């Protein structure tokens, strides 16, 4: 894990921990474009879960240390079966433990922000009571929203790119700029840092 601004291997003590989960990033258009744009921001520590843990053997201590060291946790992923890709779920299951993230003595994430950035194949119209996915994105993201609540985190309005597969390069680039601005807005100002 490297800090984009300093190139140092030690974790930052503030800023955004941007955690990406995409099982085939080489074939991704949307998430690759978004991540490439946001990870260069000063104050963002970028972690690609599938690159770091291709065998799903997660270094729990290192992950907990990274979470502790940042003010904002950003989760970026393509929506797979209305949920996160498997490794991000595994990461949540193994790292966000009782006594660390929640429960007695579990206050490591308290007061931090949780920000979700998600891409979907289906259009925005589909994510509606009368659309073919029948529920809104807010509803599909409820498990993460409640996870934030349980851990005493502040839930940030999610960033969603719908119809990602059919967006042309210019449209994706525009989304990436919107994403970059949103991630930048989550970084502490100089006086807070
Ligand atoms: C296994 C799998 C499950 C998917 N499930 C959904 C889904 O539930 N809803 C949806 O809108 N798109 C779904 N998609 C489409 C992806 O979300 C879409 O291809 C992705 O967001 C595009 O981003 P990328 O270019 O970074 O891969 C799924 C794709 C795969 C491969």
| Most distant pair of Cα atoms in the chain: their distance | 49
Q: How confident is the model at residue 190 (pLDDT cuts 50, 70, 90)?
A: low
CA of 79 to the centre of ligand 1 (A): 5
Mean pLDDT value across residues 78-87: 98
Angle between helices 86-95 and 60-68 (to 10 degrees): 80
Distance (Å, whole) CA 141 – CA 158: 9
* pLDDT above 80 (res 16): yes
Q: Does position 71 have pLDDT exceeding 90, yes or no?
A: yes
Q: C-alpha distances in angstroms, 25 versus 38, 129, 151, 183?
A: 15, 31, 30, 20
Q: Which has more pLDDT, 9 or 90? A: 90
**Which residue is it, tokens 């065998």?**
55
- Measured in Å, residue 8 CA sits from the centre of ligand 1 at 33
pTM score over 0.75: yes
- For residue 192, the model assigns a pLDDT of 59
Domain 13-185 CATH superfamily:
Flavodoxin domain (3.40.50.360)
Whole-number pLDDT of residue 189:
77
Query: Which of 2-16, 32-46, 179-193 is modeled with the greatest confidence?
Result: 32-46
Domains of the chain, residue spans: 13-185
Determine the residue of 35, 76, 77, 121 to mutate for testing ligand 1's pocket, defined as the one with the most ligand atoms within 8 A of the Cβ atom.
121
Q: What whole-number distance in Å separates Cα of residue 5 and Cα of residue 45?
A: 9
- pLDDT for residue 17: 98
Q: Which residues have any ligand 1 atom within 6 Å of their CB?
A: 22, 28-31, 78-82, 119-122, 164-165
pLDDT digit string, tens, across residues 125-137? 999 999 999 999 9
pLDDT at 193: 53
Q: What span, in angstroms and rounded, lies between the C-alpha atoms of 110 and 107?
A: 5
């Amino acid at each position: 894990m490297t800090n984009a601004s300093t190139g140092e291997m030690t974790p930052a003590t503030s800023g955004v921990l941007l955690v990406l989960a995409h099982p085939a990033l080489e074939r991704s258009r949307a998430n690759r474009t978004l991540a490439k744009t946001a990870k260069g921001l000063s104050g963002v520590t970028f972690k690609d879960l599938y690159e770091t843990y291709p065998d799903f053997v997660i270094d729990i201590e290192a992950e907990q240390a990274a979470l502790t060291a940042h003010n904002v946790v950003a989760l970026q992923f393509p929506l797979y079966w209305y949920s996160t890709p498997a490794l991000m779920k595994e990461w949540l299951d193994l790292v966000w433990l009782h006594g660390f993230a929640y429960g007695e003595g579990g206050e490591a994430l308290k007061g931090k922000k949780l920000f979700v950035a998600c891409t979907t194949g289906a259009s925005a119209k589909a994510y509606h009571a009368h659309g073919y996915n029948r529920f809104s994105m807010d509803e599909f993201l409820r498990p993460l929203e409640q996870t934030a609540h349980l851990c005493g985190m502040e839930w940030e309005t999610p960033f969603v790119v719908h119809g990602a597969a059919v967006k042309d390069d210019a449209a994706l680039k525009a989304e990436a700029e919107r994403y970059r601005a949103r991630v930048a807005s989550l970084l502490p100002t100089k006086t807070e840092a």
